[in-house]
Amino acid sequence: MKKCALITGASGGIGSAAALRLAADGYSIAACWHSDEEGISALAKKLDGISAEYRLYKVDVSDYEKIKEVFADAAENFGGVSVLVNNAGMAQQKLFTDITQQEFDLITAVNFKGVFNCCQCAVPFMVNRKEGKIINISSMWGVYGASCETVYSATKAAVIGLTKSLARELAPSNVQVNCIAPGAINTKMNNSLSAEDKAAFAAEIPMGRFGTPEEIAGVVSFLASKDSDYVTAQVITADGGLT
């Protein structure tokens, strides 16, 4: 029987690439998305093209009751979630003094509470099975902090803290929890940058370019595999040598 991988933010660049890579690795895919209909439609076509087994879920990760329903449906159709990829997130570039209470609440709800919600729903099944992989997508800014992205950076740092703590709590149950901290990746999240800004940023990266979603998906694939069974509580920074 195939194992199931649940990916949040599956309509985006990294989420879509991770879903396709894990499907190619033999997983059934539970692909969660929220608002990008074009992106999730494109992913579905690609999954169909490789004859993958999958289900799509339109859900707000910050809504705990709705997330519980998604995990229940995945359990009914796929037997339970063996790999969780917490990728859903949103960014904001704004002066700290200009951030509103509503913006703070929204970013923290998606970027941190969403990870907490999904982990809480995934853990009982994994602990019961004495195996499982939780892969949280943070950011290099969660490690180092970014000017004018204070709330985003703080939520991504919180994801790292959750990863390290939960990994140690679940280690006796043979559940591995790790984190990927991508650097500059060619995704829609970076579309707000001008061509000039992208070129200037790329020039600061030792590898001289932005990364691709597929390269991050490769790290996801490793962390989801048995090859990572002794790897837990780690933050893998994939940033082309920038930091």
Contact 130, 177 (CB under 8 A): no
Say which of 27, 54, 57, 152 is annotated catalytic.
152
Told to judge if 64 belongs to the known catalytic residues of this protein, a careful annotator would answer: no
pLDDT given at position 195: 82
Cβ neighbours of residue 162 closer than 8 Å, sequence gap 6 or more: 112, 115, 116, 119, 136
Among residues 154, 124, 133, 147, which one has the least CA distance to residue 230?
133
Please give the model's pTM, rounded to 2 decimal places: 0.96
* Beta-bridge partner residues of 94: none
Distances (CA, A) of 59 to 36, 54, 158, 222, 234: 11, 16, 22, 27, 28
Distances (CA, A) of 50 to 45, 47, 74, 110, 176: 9, 5, 20, 30, 28
pLDDT given at position 1: 62
10-residue block means of pLDDT along the chain (243 residues)?
92 97 98 97 98 98 98 97 97 94 97 98 98 98 94 98 98 98 87 80 92 97 98 97 89
pLDDT given at position 231: 98
Burial (0-12, 13-18, 19+ Cβ within 10 Å), 52? buried
**Helix (H) and strand (E) counts for the chain?**
9, 7
